[in-house]
A and B are shown apart, each in its own frame.
Chain A
Amino acid sequence: MQQLQQMQHFQQLQLQLQQLQQYQQPMMGLMGMGGMRMNMGTNTDMNTGMNMNMNPLFQTHNPVGMMGLPFAASTASSQFQTPPAMMMMMAGMGVGMGGQPQPPTAFHSVPGSSFGVVNALPAALASAAGAARGTGAVGFPLRMTSPSAGPTSTTTHDTASTSTSTVTATATAQGSWKPPQPPSVLVDNSSVRRVRMYMTTDDESLSPFQCYARQHMELFEAQQVDVQTGAQGRYVLWCSVLHTPR
């Protein structure tokens, strides 16, 4: 009877992991495309930092394949050591690393761990990934933070330029993870000082083409969003690699 229950439970787990894999694949593709968003600026251990596209351990593990051997996966050999974040994810899904199925657990209640920061995704792709994984999928913790981080956290979305935009993701419980909201498409220019280039004296001094063009240009004061975003122009690439021995 107990074996039958375990079999049923693992069938459910395999179904969940298939959903998870469907969610993971677009994410992996996304991170592979974002070559410049490596974001290794912190001295985080790769095993615990769990940057998905950089960690070879995670890439060699197929969650579904590993769950085909649920009890063997718990043996933490040096060659096939399960990444801690993967272990936490499995724990959050109710997969016991000690060989015993556990009830599904919310991420924030995993003992000794807290998934505060979710690896950033561009908003549009995050939405697409959220749609792809369906309603039964779980939040996808990729990076560990301090235990003080709550279930609701702020993620930073690095972009190719120097600016960042902040989005908020919520992982309160299994299945309730909400993708980051896309930034607003429009900016509020109501308080911006702006002056149309065209003046009535233009007709006397400029060609009709220049006059018409000046009607479609304006002078304005740069706001915070302009400062943060920067602009295209001359590109200067600064790259520094520091060796930090442990």
Chain B
Amino acid sequence: MPVVSPSHIILTIYFTNRNKPVQLGQVGIRCIHCADLHPKLRTRAAVYYPSKMGVLYQAAQNIVNLHLPELCESVPPPVRANLIRLSNKRSSVGGGKNYWSDTAQIQGVWDTPDGGLRFIKDRTTTMIPTVHPQPKEAKGDNANGDDDDNGGS
């Protein structure tokens, strides 16, 4: 009977916590208050790396509804109070997630074929799409969007 001692075993445990690793230069969305903290010290839902433009809205909503009012310890109390106060006021004004993706494109963010968002390096040579802001709709702030975001921390 073969004897197996601990010295005979190579035990490898990997923790991968996203389905696609973050690429260098990939564009993410994050809370500005804990942006200067080391990533390991940030609380949950501080950063998201959307895989495509359509997911940007849902990632932002996660930050807005979870991180900023509840989890982030770097948010100043007046800001947190304002957020809570405004979130309790339902408004019929809502540009929808198309507005979020369109404005992100204006700011120079584009989808990449291999997934993930990137900043355009030279905006003068790239066509910038025309933004058509959505008409005012009776849409809630917490509308569910595509949840195919690429995790958050």
Residues of A with Cβ closer than 8 Å to B? Answer: 36, 38, 40-47, 49, 54, 159-162, 183-187, 189, 193-197, 199, 201-202, 204-210, 212-214, 216-227, 229-246
> Given the interface contacts A207-B93, A231-B18, does A221 sit within 8 Å of B23 by beta carbon?
no
**In angstroms, how far is the closest chain A Cβ from the Cβ of B37?**
7
> Measured between C-beta atoms, what is the minimum distance from A40 to chain B in Å?
5
Cβ contact within 8 Å between A234 and B32:
no
Q: Are A244 and B38 in contact (CB under 8 A)?
A: no
B115 close to A (CB within 8 Å):
no
Among A193, A195, A231, A237, contact of B39 (Cβ-Cβ < 8 Å) = A231
Q: Which of B12, B33, B94 has the most CB of A within 10 A?
A: B12
By a beta-carbon cutoff of 8 Å, the part of chain B in contact with chain A is 2, 4-19, 21-33, 35-41, 44, 47-49, 60, 63-64, 68, 75, 79, 82-83, 86-87, 89, 91-95, 99, 103-104, 106-109, 119, 131, 133-134, 136, 141, 150-153
Given contacts A43-B10, A206-B95, A210-B141, contact A217 B29 (CB under 8 A): yes
A43: chain B residues at CB < 8 Å are 7, 10
Contact across chains for B63 and A220 when beta carbons are under 8 A apart: no
Known: A205-B133, A206-B93, A238-B13. A218 touches B18 (CB 8 A): no
Smallest beta-carbon distance A214→chain B, Å: 8
B88 to chain A, nearest CB (A): 9
**Complex contact A224–B94 (CB within 8 A):** no
- 13 contacting pairs across A/B (C-beta < 8 A): A160-B15, A186-B37, A187-B37, A195-B107, A196-B32, A199-B103, A199-B107, A201-B133, A204-B133, A210-B95, A231-B18, A231-B151, A239-B12
From known contacts A212-B82, A229-B40, A231-B22, infer whether A217 and B15 are also in contact, taking CB-CB under 8 Å.
no
Tell me which of B23, B39, B91, B106 contacts A225 (CB under 8 A). B39
